Amino acid sequence: MRVLTGLTLALCLALPAHAQSDRDARLAVAEEYVSATMEGMDMQEFIRQIWQPMVQQMAQNRQQLTPEQISRIETLFSEELTEPLTEVMQAQDEILADLLTLQELEALRDFYNSEHGRSVMEKMPQLAQIQQPMISRVLQAKMPVMMPKIREITTGETE
């Protein structure tokens, strides 16, 4: 009985240590991946994809902006978002270490560091930029239908 109790105790004490070392390994690989992605990231292009759809939406609603106004909007978004978004991106390592297995993280890191992987990842912002107006059009078409339903869900009121 003492042997069984001793084995059980040893196993219970070893599991948290193994889990921590496994997370440490995942975190180390996640940090490598995040570092590589941040190295090749154009943060200003990323931020541009946030504000450009807004400017395009304004133009579609017949609110034309001057080049100076657009420049001021770009400067505003850059000044306000560069640092916090960089911090968010750099914090991905902890999240990835919690979400992915070591094998998944290694595959992600290796893919990103490959010639084709890096090329694909560098083109993803372009994909997002191309899709953003499509998504905006879908939302614009669906919101008039959805808003009364949201109001009904949240307040119990019907029209």
Residue 145 lies in a domain: no
Residue 137 lies in a domain: no
Residue 16 lies in a domain: yes
The boundaries of the domain holding residue 20 are 2-130
Residue 86 lies in a domain: yes
Lowest mean pLDDT among 32-41, 47-56, 122-131: 122-131
What is the tally of structural domains in the chain? Answer: 1
Largest separation between any pair of C-alpha atoms in the chain: 83
Residue 148 lies in a domain: no
Q: CB 96: neighbour CB atoms within 10 A?
A: 20
Residue 114 lies in a domain: yes
Residue-level pLDDT at 20: 67
Reported as a single tens digit per residue, the pLDDT across 94-140 is 999 999 999 999 999 999 899 998 888 888 878 877 887 888 788 88
Residue 152 lies in a domain: no
Overall pTM > 0.85: no
Reported as a single tens digit per residue, the pLDDT across 60-105 is 888 888 999 999 999 999 999 999 999 999 999 999 999 999 999 9
Residue 142 lies in a domain: no
The stretches of the chain forming alpha helices (DSSP H) are 2-39, 43-60, 67-90, 92-99, 102-113, 115-155
